[in-house]
Amino acid sequence: MVWTQRVAGVLATVALFGVGVAVFNLVRPDDGAAVVASETAATPTATPKQSSKKKSKKAKPLTAREKQARADAVDDVRMQGDTTVREADYDPRARLRVLIGRPVGDSTGGYRAYFFTKDGFVGKDSDFRSTELEVAKQGKATVTLRYGVYKDGDRAGEPTGTKRVRFRLDGTALTALDVVPSADERFQRSSG
């Protein structure tokens, strides 16, 4: 009986070994060249090492003085008859600061840029309004505005062209570094 158990164990081992050989024959490559090719294809590539320091992209919160400077600029725009579009455009840490305003209670009245320094209001982008106007880029002493510009066939209130104009602070004077589009190119009142 012990002998029968041993033979059964050996047969089970042989059967297991046979299954292993059959599986190997199913998955093995046909020739040695395929093995070499698959080994070279599996060679890992070097990945760039990431810096251990994480740079914070989060802006520092404004100080009480910076918040007050922005609030004073917003009040100045309101005193000139406009409401501000985005207070976040005002960068109190820059030498040249900007706010875009539009007439209070008139959503089709157009937009105008108001420029400031730490000492207060220094000027507007133009005496005439624009249908579309936004801050495209801000530096410390330069602000780039993006104007909507009308092309032939554009409907009033829907300019399809754009023009970027840079403004710089030269000492205490505001200077346009590019030609501001004419009033007719920038503004047409829509009926809505």
Number of compact structural domains in the chain: 1
Output the furthest CA–CA distance in the chain (Å, rounded): 112
Report the distance separating Cα 8 and Cα 38, nearest Å. 40
Residue 112 resides in a domain: yes
Helix/strand/coil for 190: coil
Report the distance separating Cα 106 and Cα 65, nearest Å. 32
CB 156 within 8 A of CB 188: yes
pLDDT at 35: 43
Residue 24 resides in a domain: no
Q: Which residue has the tokens 């725009």?
A: 77
Residue 105 resides in a domain: yes
Report the distance separating Cα 38 and Cα 32, nearest Å. 10
Domain span at residue 169 reads 64-186
pLDDT at 189: 80
Residue 92 resides in a domain: yes
pLDDT at 137: 96
Residue 137 resides in a domain: yes
CB 100 within 8 A of CB 157: no
pLDDT in tens, the chain (192 residues): 554 566 556 556 655 556 555 555 555 555 544 444 444 445 555 555 555 556 656 778 889 999 999 999 999 999 999 999 999 999 999 999 999 999 988 877 899 999 999 999 999 999 999 999 999 999 999 999 999 999 999 999 899 999 999 999 988 889 999 999 999 999 988 765
Report the distance separating Cα 45 and Cα 128, nearest Å. 59
Name 145's bridge partners.
135, 165
Query: 179 is written with which tokens?
Result: 């030609």
